[in-house]
Amino acid sequence: TTGFTYTQAGTYTITMTATNNVGCSDTEIFTPIRVLELPLAQFDADDLAGCSPFLVNFTNTSTLQGNGVGLNSFLWSFSDNNSQQTTTNVNTGVNHTFLNAGNFLVTLVATDLFGCVSAPATKTISITKPIANFTVDNVICDMEAFTTVNASTGFNPIAYQWIVDGVNNATTAELAYFFDETPSATTDHVTHTIGLIVTDGN
């Protein structure tokens, strides 16, 4: 038995010649072998970057090539949660919701009717989720100027919206502020609320 690997698609004729020890020979030509071209996996995404949670719709644009045969199945893989999904029609798209922040690989492999498998097609989906975080003294004197310390993180450019007692205030990275209270004989303190909304580049 002799093995041979065909590295190019096409139709090949196999000829076997047997020769005995006195030089007599006979030749046999076998039925031509058809080596199929691999299918071509391709797909499109309606968006490649967004905020978590982020729903992405994928369209299958895979094709057969050259002397390849019809496509039979498609295996989709998503690296964010190591899930897979199989479809059996090139016109069937899939969607996937990315829940975590990070860069995630989406892979599609196409298989034809004879079981020939394509090289993988890939796209990277970038998911971001900013984190709002700041510190400020818990006790502040009346008319005392103070500045927050912003420790927020996220995908640049980052925009900030400070909210003081439910009212939109500064859009700077730090909030510089003071409270002017009316003196009262019935209370020794006033409670205020400071909030921060962070919007990232996505």
**12-68 pLDDT tens trace:** 888 888 999 998 999 998 888 888 999 999 999 999 999 999 999 999 999 999 999
Three-state SS string over 102-147 comes to: EEEEEEEEEEECCCCECCCEEEEEEEECCECCEECCCCCCCCCCEE
> What average pLDDT does the segment 188-201 reach?
95
Which residue's entry shows tokens 């409670």? 191
Q: Residue 61 CB: number of other CB atoms within 10 A?
A: 14
What's the predicted TM-score (pTM) here?
Answer: 0.76
Please give the mean pLDDT across all residues of the chain. Answer: 94
d(C-alpha 93, C-alpha 43), whole Å: 9
Q: Which residues contact 47 (CB under 8 A, 6 or more apart)?
A: 54, 56
At residue 1, the pLDDT reads: 66
**135-168 pLDDT tens trace:** 999 999 999 999 999 999 999 999 999 999 999 9
Extract the tokens encoding 61.
């644009």
